[in-house]
């Protein structure tokens, strides 16, 4: 084996101080921290945590069509700084990503703005124009490089159309990601239906708006014996259904977001548009159920559901403000609060943000074995930072974290052996 191109020294991996040897864009091996090497550049890790590059399987990069909210360049820069080596970008662009031309545009723009990564994997529209009436040209989208299919925030209400979509996608070797929501029950809602919505005088979305669609998808997945991935699960009833399905061997996987593990509907007090998201923030009981489901593997992965908006769009009455939280910059720090609270472990983070997403969507992943892609980050868990418009790399500053001090900061990011950025450890 040739010598390394890069040696990263003085890093913590599974509580041991090691060095990482990288050659030709691949992991060569983990070595003793002071093992000599006559080849390659050296990077001092400063005693920081060595983590695999994260994979965010649910982001909205807004381009083409909504560049005033975010564009591919700014979204990928937020991904770099947030620790994400790959992202799956949803199809709710303008025009919708329901043709190979849009898929090609997204991929080429990513290579143009970030030639060394993060990798952008487009998610193709499940139906034409996301209208839920006619299947998109799934084979064309798959050939163009789509990594999955989804109707994103426009759930397919017709079960026969959804069934045919799942069957067709499976024939192509790809997974359908479903936004689980009954449109009639969710229509016009600004937040969770419950005590707080009553106090604020707002129309709420009941948990059953989500869980009804979860139940439908589970039964279809069992009947067809085909995989379905459930997007941004938010409530106890849904995770109980998913646990039941998995106990029966149903091929269903599921995701949730940091905000469903940390915040409740109480965040909506004061008509806080920055906390308006779909599905909505739920109750403290739902948060506890979500935490348990993530620990136990009922929920397979974490995603950001990164949904950037322009400032003026959130500076409106709550019922007029769009749903969504900008999440790429803050996700890892928010999850580190869960590690500090002993809700999750470092190994859980690697499983939820790297290993399982790669398995579900058939993506390359770094397990730090010889030959794995050299996608990794160096993370300083002790460095705190204040969330502000100036410290966020995303164009979207719409996060309830504004003004908060969060723990942990990515200090270096390497993709395929190429260092994209490195900061001195503080």
Q: Is 158 helix (H, G, I), strand (E, B) or coil?
A: coil
Comparing CA positions, the residue from 234, 194, 192, 190 lying closest to residue 214 is 234
423 labelled binding-site residue: no
Peptide linkage before 95 cis (omega within 30 of 0):
yes
Rounded CA-CA distance 315/122 in Å is 30
Rounded CA-CA distance 426/423 in Å is 9
CA 88 to chain centre: 8
C-alpha to C-alpha distances, 206 to 43, 153, 156, 195, 196, nearest whole angstrom: 51, 17, 19, 11, 12
Q: In the annotation, is 305 catalytic?
A: yes
312 labelled binding-site residue: no
Neighbours of 38 (CB within 10 A): 6
Q: Are 404 and 41 in contact (CB under 8 A)?
A: no
200 labelled binding-site residue: no
| Catalytic member of 305, 329, 382, 423 | 305
Rounded CA-CA distance 217/383 in Å is 42
Neighbours of 33 (CB within 10 A): 15
Q: Are 151 and 136 in contact (CB under 8 A)?
A: no
366 labelled binding-site residue: no
152 labelled binding-site residue: yes
58 labelled binding-site residue: yes
Give the burial class of 175: count Cβ atoms within 10 A of its Cβ; 0-12 exposed, 13-18 middle, 19 or more buried: buried
Comparing CA positions, the residue from 350, 347, 193 lying closest to residue 281 is 193
305 labelled binding-site residue: yes
232 labelled binding-site residue: yes
Query: So which residues are the catalytic ones?
Result: 305
Could you tell me which residues are annotated as the binding site?
58, 60-62, 92, 152, 179, 232, 278, 305, 309
Could you tell me which residues are annotated as the binding site for substrate?
60-62, 92, 278, 309
């Amino acid at each position: 084996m040739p010598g390394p191109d890069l040696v990263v020294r003085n890093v913590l991996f599974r509580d041991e101080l090691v060095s990482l040897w990288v050659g030709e864009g691949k992991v060569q091996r983990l070595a003793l921290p002071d093992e000599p090497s006559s080849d390659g550049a050296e990077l001092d890790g400063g005693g920081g945590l060595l983590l695999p590059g994260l994979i965010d399987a649910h982001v909205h990069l807004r381009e083409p069509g909504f560049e005033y909210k975010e564009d591919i360049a700014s979204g990928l820069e937020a991904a770099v700084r947030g620790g994400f080596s790959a992202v799956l970008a949803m199809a709710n662009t303008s025009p919708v990503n329901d043709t190979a031309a849009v898929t090609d545009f997204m991929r080429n723009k990513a290579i143009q703005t970030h030639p060394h990564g993060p990798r952008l994997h487009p998610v193709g529209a499940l139906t034409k124009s996301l209208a839920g009436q006619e299947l998109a040209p799934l084979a064309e989208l798959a050939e163009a490089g789509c990594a999955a299919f989804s109707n994103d925030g426009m759930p397919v209400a017709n079960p026969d159309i959804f069934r045919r979509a799942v069957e067709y996608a499976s024939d192509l070797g790809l997974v359908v990601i479903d936004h689980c929501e009954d449109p009639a029950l969710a229509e016009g809602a600004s937040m969770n239906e419950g005590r707080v919505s009553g106090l604020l005088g707002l129309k709420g979305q009941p948990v059953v708006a989500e869980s009804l669609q979860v139940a439908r998808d589970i039964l279809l997945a069992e009947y067809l014996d085909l995989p379905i991935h459930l997007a941004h699960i938010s409530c106890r009833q849904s995770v109980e259904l998913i646990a039941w399905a998995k106990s029966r061997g149903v091929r269903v996987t599921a995701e949730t977001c940091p905000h469903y593990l940390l915040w409740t509907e109480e965040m909506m007090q004061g008509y806080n548009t920055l906390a308006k998201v779909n599905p909505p923030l739920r109750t403290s009981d739902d948060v506890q159920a979500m935490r348990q489901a993530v620990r136990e593997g009922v929920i397979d992965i974490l995603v950001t559901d990164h949904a950037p908006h322009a400032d003026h769009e959130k500076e409106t009455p709550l019922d007029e403000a769009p749903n969504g939280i900008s999440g790429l910059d803050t996700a890892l720090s928010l999850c580190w609060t869960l590690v500090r609270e002993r809700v999750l472990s470092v190994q859980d983070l690697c499983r939820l943000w790297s290993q399982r997403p790669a398995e579900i969507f058939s993506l390359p992943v770094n397990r730090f074995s010889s030959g794995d892609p050299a996608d990794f980050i160096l993370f300083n868990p002790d460095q705190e930072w204040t969330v502000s418009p100036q410290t966020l790399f995303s164009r979207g500053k719409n996060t309830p974290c504004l003004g908060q001090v969060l723990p942990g900061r990515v200090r270096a990011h390497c993709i395929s052996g190429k260092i994209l950025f490195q900061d001195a450890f503080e």
